[in-house]
Amino acid sequence: MIHRIGVIAVIQLREIMTPVTDYLSQSSTLEQAITIMKRKKWNIVPATDQDGRLLGVFTRSILYQMVLAGQPLHTPIHPFMKTDVVAFSVDTPYDIIEKVVENSNVGSGVVLDGEQRPIGLITSIDIARTLLRTSYSLREQLEAILATSQLGAVMTDEQNQVIFVNARFCDMLGCAEKQIIGRNITDVIPDIHTTEVQEMEQEVHKRIVVGNYRTIVRLSKYKTVKGQEGFIALFQNISEVERMAEELESVKRWKSMLQTVIDKAYDGIVMINQQGRISFVSPSLIELFELDESQTIHQPIDGVLPQLGLTRVVKSGLADISDFMEVNGIQYIVHRIPVLQDQHVVGAIGKIMFRQLQEVRERFKRFDRHEWKEGVARQQRRQAESSRFTFDEIITSDYQMEKLVRSVSKAAKGRSTILIRGESGTGKELFAHAIHSISPREEKPFVTVNCAAIPEHLLESEFFGYEEGAFTGAKHKGKVGKFDLAHGGTLFLDEVGDMSLPLQAKLLRVLQEGEFYRVGGTDRIHVDVRIISATNRPLEDMVEKGTFREDLFYRLNVISFEIPPLRLRKGDILLLCELFIKDLNKSNGTSVTSIDPEAQCVMLGYEWLGNVRELRNVLERAMVFAESGKIQLDDLPDYVLKKTSLPNNQQHPVLQQNLLNQAEQDTIQIALQKTNGNKSQAARLLGISRSVLYEKLKKYQISCL
Ligand SMILES: Nc1ncnc2c1ncn2[C@@H]1O[C@H](COP(=O)(O)OP(=O)(O)OP(=O)(O)O)[C@@H](O)[C@H]1O
């Protein structure tokens, strides 16, 4: 297709014609005609009748003919007048006039009004002038358009040489205009091939790269002034469009992934806004509660699913994990999670779990029966005849604990009786095992007796065994006691403070004499046993009150040490968490990777009265709920969240800051202890400058040792 570059502006004939003010008439003479032509410098003069209508025209060539024929000046012009006149109505469109003038050998025409009266003359010069004027303005318009256009534009002549290029194209190519003008288009843009350009029948659209831009080029032919073919190439930058398309594509991918996650990973999800109206509900939830989807979106949740109790989370801002609930015989659990934005609750999410609940329920049962479970585990441990833990398994970064581990390891190598003190769950049994594992008796049995777990009347036979038929219900062949079993090795008396006074007396005798009698027996049995005992009871007070024998106390208390509670060594909390997460992933088949910083803060702030055991149990429970693979705040049990010792535990950032300060304080103190108060060494150990350390000592009001 060949484009013609034409005049677009609407040209009025009245604007370009020469107005006629002088006329000839039927009776006018040669002289009058010459006078008008001379004065007006016209090549033609219209002649009109009495009504002013066009009769014909007197032209310069008629004048020459009359003069050459020797006609006198008074000769009437009427017989010589040209009546075959090129005339246009004043409202004839310009392009028609242009065509008529172009094709006629007459250089002028007459413009008539509606009454056929001549009002103007139009000559080829008028047309040429007009064309020139319009082509100038057209050129200006085109240049303005191309200069401001986002399209890159290139124009070639018939030899494919670039004759025009706009600023946008220069930008795209990264070249100046003068570096492009005059070059062959296929040199400038090698992706445009000569043959393709020459054989091009119609417009070509193709994707090509110009400089750093991906573009679509529209290549078309136009007719040059020489009537041959040149090219116009318009380049549309599509880099941005393609980037947006890629982004859109990735948003779509995300959307479908999230949709899948929502549909598959959670059994059911419902989201509400701050006003308690439903903003999203997942298909499985609709199915579970047999809802009509069109009746849920934007409806108040309390009208649709009041039993979920989601609005209370919006009010309280606290996450909440509910107990089992039931709908249509299907049991489910609701996790209620507030949605926060800039510390303000803007809505809530209800996660509903109803698939594989049986398995979860089993776990719940296990948690509920935790004490029982622990008892069974201990019983099993008691039956073990060798120690299961070593000092390597005692995890700590606490200075005091490390010191303790070092001194206990030394004591372990001797023969002395050891008393381990410490609150419940601090690791007393762990230490007892570790002591045995590096003692000279390491190859011999390690036997545990939990003095609190065995009924009083069985404890004696448990310790010393009994002879055949010693009492009703006794096993036929008698039983070997723990002292017997531990011969050559270690007997670990757990909860030794819970032993009755009569048994304390018997135990004392064995410890003093190294001999005992079986229940119902008469033979003295000699044993070589190292005693390690443990208790969380205040034995000194008990001695004072007479509930624990003083002599036994001194026998047991040859070497004694106390394990500090977890709340006094907060630095160990996250370390232990890491260890337990690994252990529990292995034993429970979970895949938890870490703890969210907010949940870490709560764990650091909690008092841990149940010490390391409680920490492990809380983690085990949280790991069941940690669906994201990370333990979040709402995976922690309510009692931990509520009892976190630092104030205002809803404002997590504040809580976090307090805890971080606390942790920083603890770390500085440890560093000072380790370096015996030497501040330079402590600063080096902490990896901070002395001046920063001084600032912190001042901030936390830490005085040196
Ligand atoms: N420092 C530690 N590193 C690793 N695990 C520990 C540590 N301290 C305690 N534990 C773990 O904590 C749990 C409780 O420890 P343990 O049973 O030894 O405590 P305990 O003081 O004997 O408790 P109780 O007084 O109730 O008998 C165990 O699982 C033990 O392995």
pLDDT digits (tens, 9 = 90+) for 229-280: 888 889 988 888 888 888 888 888 887 777 777 766 667 889 999 999 998 8
> Which pLDDT belongs to residue 9?
46
Give the residue with greater pLDDT, 491 vs 384: 491
Ligand 1 mean position, distance from CA 89 (Å): 113
Q: Which of 75-79, 466-470, 492-496, 629-633 has the lowest mean pLDDT?
A: 466-470
Residue 475 has pLDDT above 70, yes or no: no
Question: b/e string for 48-73 if b means 16 or more Cβ within 10 A?
Answer: beeeeebbbbbbeebbeebeeeebee
Predicted confidence at residue 361, as pLDDT, reads 59
Nearest Cα residue to 75 out of 109, 31, 35, 40 = 31
Cα 333 to chain centroid, rounded: 28
Instruction: State the virtual CA torsion across 592, 621, 396, 414 in degrees, nearest 10.
Output: -120
Q: Whose CA is nearest to atom 25 of ligand 1?
A: 424
Ligand 1 test: best mutation among 381, 397, 429, 537, most atoms within 8 Å of CB?
A: 429
Q: Residue 659 — pLDDT band, cuts 50, 70, 90?
A: low
Nearest to 135, CA basis, from 1, 4, 15? 4
Distance (Å) from CA 431 to ligand 1 centroid: 8
Using the CB atoms, write b or e for 136-150: b if 16+ within 10 Å: eeeeeeeeeebeeee
Q: Which atom of ligand 1 is nearest to the CA of 389?
A: 31
Average pLDDT over residues 685-696: 84
Measured CA to CA in angstroms, residue 348 lies from 313, 342, 596, 664 at distances of 7, 15, 19, 34
Question: Which of 382, 430, 435 should be mutated for ligand 1, with most atoms under 8 A from CB?
Answer: 430
Cα three-residue angle 546-548-554, rounded to 5 degrees: 115
pLDDT confidence of residue 571: 85
Which single residue is written with the structure tokens 């002649």? Answer: 47
Q: Positive or negative CA dihedral for 651, 652, 657, 661? A: positive
Give the least confident one: 135-139, 346-350, 391-395, 513-517.
Answer: 135-139
pLDDT band at 374 (very low <50, low <70, confident <90, very high): low
Give the separation between CA 409 and CA 688, rounded to whole angstroms: 33
Segment among 370-384, 596-610, 674-688 with least mean pLDDT: 370-384
State mean pLDDT over 663-686.
84
Neighbour tally for 329: CB within 10 Å: 5
Instruction: Give the binding-site residues of ligand 1, using a 6 Å CB cut-off.
Output: 393-396, 422, 424-430, 494, 536, 576, 612-613, 616
Atom number in ligand 1 closest to CA 430: 18
Residue 91 makes CB contacts below 8 A (sequence gap 6+) with: 13
Q: How large a percentage of the chain has pLDDT more than 70?
A: 86
pLDDT of residue 565: 94
The answer, yes or no, to whether residue 510 has pLDDT greater than 60, is yes
| Contact by Cβ (8 Å): 420, 431 | yes
Mean pLDDT for 137-163 is: 84
For residue 538, what pLDDT is reported? Answer: 94
Whose Cα sits closest to atom 13 in ligand 1?
A: 613
* The pLDDT of residue 555: 93
511-546 residue pLDDT tens: 888 888 888 888 888 889 999 999 999 999 999 999
Q: Write the DSSP symbol of residue 106.
A: -
pLDDT value at 138 more than 90 = no
Model confidence pLDDT, tens digit, residues 421-470: 999 999 999 999 999 999 999 888 999 988 887 777 778 888 888 876 65
Residue 360: pLDDT above 90? no
Band (pLDDT 50/70/90 cuts) for residue 381 is very low
Q: Please state whether 40 falls in left (phi above 0), alpha (psi between -120 and 50) or beta.
A: alpha
For the cut 60, the answer to whether the pLDDT of residue 508 exceeds it is yes
Q: Which atom of ligand 1 lies closest to the CA of 396? A: 1
Which region among 283-287, 357-361, 670-674 has the lowest average model confidence (pLDDT)? 357-361
pLDDT of residue 368: 53
Helix 597-605, helix 571-588: angle, nearest 10: 120
505-509, 585-589, 656-660, 697-701: lowest mean pLDDT where? 656-660
3-state secondary structure of 595: strand
Nearest residue to 311 via CA among 288, 334, 293, 331:
334
pLDDT above 90 for 548? yes
Confidence of residue 380 (pLDDT cuts 50, 70, 90): very low
662-668 CB contacts, 8 Å cutoff, 24+ apart: 662/570, 662/604, 662/605, 663/570, 663/571, 663/604, 664/696, 664/700, 665/700, 665/702, 666/570, 666/571, 667/571, 668/693, 668/696, 668/697, 668/700, 668/702
Which domains are seen in the chain, by residue range?
Answer: 2-130 (3.10.580.10), 149-237 (3.30.450.20), 246-350 (3.30.450.20), 386-564 (3.40.50.300), 567-699 (1.10.8.60)
CA of 408 relative to ligand 1 center, distance in Å: 16
- Could you tell me the pLDDT band of residue 195, with boundaries at 50, 70 and 90? low
- Atom 30 of ligand 1: nearest residue by CA position: 427
- pLDDT value of position 366: 59
CB atoms within 10 A of CB 358: 8
Distance (Å) from CA 4 to ligand 1 centroid: 94
Q: How confident is the model at residue 404 (pLDDT cuts 50, 70, 90)?
A: very high
Task: Give pLDDT, residue 544.
Answer: 95
Higher pLDDT, 212 or 547: 547
CA of residue 499 to ligand 1 center, whole Å? 21
Q: What is the pLDDT of residue 386?
A: 62
What's the alpha-carbon Rg for the chain, to the nearest Å?
Answer: 53
**What's the whole-number mean pLDDT along residues 569-583?**
90
pLDDT tens, 23-60?
Answer: 999 899 999 999 999 999 888 999 999 999 999 999 99
Average pLDDT over residues 283-305: 87
Question: What's residue 469's pLDDT?
Answer: 61
- Name the strand (E) or helix (H) holding 142: helix 124-148
User: Atom 31 (ligand 1): residue with closest C-alpha?
Assistant: 430
Statement: residue 375 has pLDDT above 70: no
Q: Work out the mean pLDDT of the chain and round it to a whole number.
A: 83
What is the structure's pLDDT at 196? 67
Contact 289, 314 (CB under 8 A): no
pLDDT of residue 38: 92
